[in-house]
Structure 1
Amino acid sequence: MLMIYTVYVLYAPAYDKHYTGFTANIELRLKSHNEFGKDWTARHRPWKLIYTRDFDNKVQAMDFEKWLKTGAGRDFIKTLPY
């Protein structure tokens, strides 16, 4: 069975904040950010999904997520439509 890993970018319009992560279940992860937990993302709800990119390899997904957190990656995120 092929596992798909999704790198995603969330945007919190009320706070003008972005969050970048990766997951094997984007629907559950988005629900988690918007409904569960008490971490940083809980303080900036609601989150809107503004970007996804799928990978069939966890290492590639992690590498792309890491790139999105660099200066060039943050510049790319700023070009995304909200």
Structure 2
Amino acid sequence: MIYSVYILYSDTSDRYYIGHTGNVEKRLYEHNNPEVQTKYTSKYLPWRIVAHIEVSQDRGEAMKLERFIKQQKSRNFIESLIANQKDIEFIEKLMSSALSKSQ
């Protein structure tokens, strides 16, 4: 299984949500299903995927990348990540920063 970090966006609330998972489509369904009570995302339905980055078979690395992105506390950083999600060099630098910072 490949773990990914994903970014969701709610048009109705103009908010982003960042998470990690082994199944992005299933996780999006869970975030948008009102019967699955998620603390944060259930308040801002509906959500759509705006980015997803395949990280590794190691869930821990996906968790470190998720944490690194959240620690930036920057909408500009998130929007830059969304815009550059297909740029392999950008993603490699991001992963390197995230993994070296957490050690």
- What TM-score does the superposition give when structure 1 sets the normalisation length? 0.84
**Distance across 2 between alignment mates of 1:43 and 1:78:** 22
Q: 5+ residue gaps in structure 2?
A: 84-103
Aligned residue pairs, count: 79
Q: 1:74 offset after TM fit, Å?
A: 4.4
Moved beyond 4 Å, runs of 4+: none
Residue by residue over 1:25-71, the C-alpha shift from the partner in whole angstroms, topping out at 9 and shown as x without a partner, is 11110000001423221110100100111122111101100111022
Q: Give 1 or 2 for the bigger CA radius of gyration.
A: 2
CA RMSD of aligned residues (A): 1.7
Q: 5+ residue gaps in structure 1?
A: none
Percent of paired sites with the same residue: 34
- What TM-score does the superposition give when structure 2 sets the normalisation length? 0.68
Larger proportion of helix: 2
Comparing both chains, which one has the higher relative contact order based on Cα–Cα distances under 8 Å and sequence gaps of 6 or more? 1
